[in-house]
């Protein structure tokens, strides 16, 4: 699987948690691209955001407050941020 490939690349035989070379980084980026890791992570984050929105919408104690607006905006920000 993609996860196994990445874990193998990060194994102690290749330097473990130490500093990675430019070649190591290019290799890891290629694995991330090949296995669709970023698309998967985005889909998971959207799923969690929908769940959070649903919970916030049911939280009647937050109705029409500045705090509710902040939490809704925070959910949007976390999912849509670039970094």
The reply to whether the predicted model has a pTM over 0.85 is no
Structure token pair of residue 4: 């196994």
What's the pLDDT band for 18 if we cut at 50, 70, 90? low
Structure token pair of residue 60: 């009647």
Task: Give me the numbers of helices (H) and strands (E) for the chain, helices first please.
Answer: 4, 0
pLDDT in tens, 24-80: 889 999 999 999 999 999 999 999 999 998 988 888 777 778 888 888 889 888 888
pLDDT in tens, 36-49: 999 999 999 999 99
Residue for token digits 């500093």? 19
């Amino acid at each position: 699987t993609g996860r196994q490939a990445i874990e193998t690349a990060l194994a102690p035989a290749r330097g473990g948690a130490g500093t990675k070379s430019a070649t190591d980084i290019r290799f890891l980026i290629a694995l991330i691209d090949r296995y669709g890791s970023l698309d998967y992570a985005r889909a998971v984050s959207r799923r969690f955001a929908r769940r959070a929105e649903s919970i916030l919408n049911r939280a009647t104690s937050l109705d029409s407050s500045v705090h509710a607006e902040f939490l809704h905006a925070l959910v949007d920000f976390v999912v849509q941020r670039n970094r």
